[in-house]
Structure 1
Amino acid sequence: MLTPFLIIGGIGLLILIISLVVGDIFDHFEIGDGAISGTALGVAATVFGAAGVLTAGADLDIVWAYVLAAVLAVAAYVVALLLVKRLTASSDGELQSAVGLTGISRSDISVAGGEVSLDGPHEIERRLAFSDQPIPEGVRIRVIEHTGTRVKVEPA
């Protein structure tokens, strides 16, 4: 009876952790102009699982457990999506393209991700990066694409 809630909640937690560590997993897809966020999906699935377990544990009919869990998951998704958008907009200030900037890889970079430091006037932190080809740590790189908070790089 609780198994679906535990599975969905566990998957949500996994998506949330991946999105927080690697970066938003849906940044590569141009879906709905940012309407889908891996972080928000992870939050929603985790809330669904937790709300379902708590509601089912309160001896309510299982239908109500699914209904209440779904309503809370949708509300959590909307709140998380708005929060992620607001934080991204406030932390980045004016969005400036990093295309053409050079820098150095601070970790191994692959299609899955990595980190770079860029040589730009507004670049004081490391950025999440990805590349079509593997790039080892310590290699000079050039930004060829800027997607959200991540950059696509190639060896310079």
Structure 2
Amino acid sequence: MTVFLVIGGIGLVLLLASLVFGDIFEAFDVGEGGFSGIAAGVGAVVFGASGVIAQSSGLPVVWAYAIGVGFAVVAFLVSQAVVKRLSETEDAPPPPLDGAFGMTTATTGPSGGEVRLEGVRDLEARLCWAEEEIAAGTRVVVVAVSGSRVQVRPV
């Protein structure tokens, strides 16, 4: 029973570390993204738990190992498929804003203003600034990005 508890405990630590700090194996490029620390942790936890339950039910040690391995493989494969599917649905990074065109919606100058950008998916309206004062309704182009703010100049 000690083997099941130790492997289950290691799996729990691996699972928690992967959830808190990000996938551990991804940082080491193990399996080129094909192997998830979360899935390995789930498999080890299920192996330990099912082995302990099987032994506590009075089954022979051989059956406890067989049940533990069987359930661990199934749990690993299912969780690996879920992790892979979730990672494939991640949003693409936003497009670069340098060179984007837009229209100022407020008077803009060194102290700030606002611009409505064209063709940008995440935010259409952004805080902006310019080296010179630009009237509202002027067509501008983004020349620099600083955090969520953009620097613009008239076209």
- TM-score normalised over the length of structure 1: 0.58
Aligned residue pairs, count: 102
State the alpha-carbon separation in 2 of the partners of residues 87 and 56 from structure 1: 35
Opposite residue 74 of structure 1, the aligned amino acid is: V
Structure with more relative contact order (C-alpha pairs < 8 Å, separation 6 or more): 1
2:88 counterpart residue number: 89
- TM-score normalised over the length of structure 2: 0.58
State the alpha-carbon separation in 1 of the partners of residues 122 and 36 from structure 2: 26
> Structure 1 residues 122, 21: CA separation in 2 closer, same or farther (over 3 Å shift)?
farther
Tell me by how many angstroms 1:50 deviates.
0.2
Q: Deviations over 1:87-138 (max 9, x none)?
A: 1222x13x4489xxxxxxxxxxxxxxxxxxxxxx759xxxxxxxxxxxxxxx
> Structure 1 residues 63, 84: CA separation in 2 closer, same or farther (over 3 Å shift)?
same
1:16 counterpart residue number: 15
> Structure 1 residues 122, 47: CA separation in 2 closer, same or farther (over 3 Å shift)?
farther
Alignment of structure 1 residues 50-89 onto 2, 5 Å? 50-89=49-88
Given the alignment of the two structures, is residue 29 of structure 1 paired with residue 28 of structure 2, yes or no?
yes
Larger Rg: 2
State the alpha-carbon separation in 2 of the partners of residues 36 and 43 from structure 1: 12
Tell me by how many angstroms 1:85 deviates.
0.9
State the alpha-carbon separation in 1 of the partners of residues 18 and 30 from structure 2: 16
State the alpha-carbon separation in 1 of the partners of residues 122 and 75 from structure 2: 33
Tell me by how many angstroms 1:11 deviates.
0.8
**SS of the residue aligned with 1:47?**
helix
Superposition RMSD in Å: 2.6
Opposite residue 79 of structure 2, the aligned amino acid is: A
Tell me by how many angstroms 1:9 deviates.
0.5
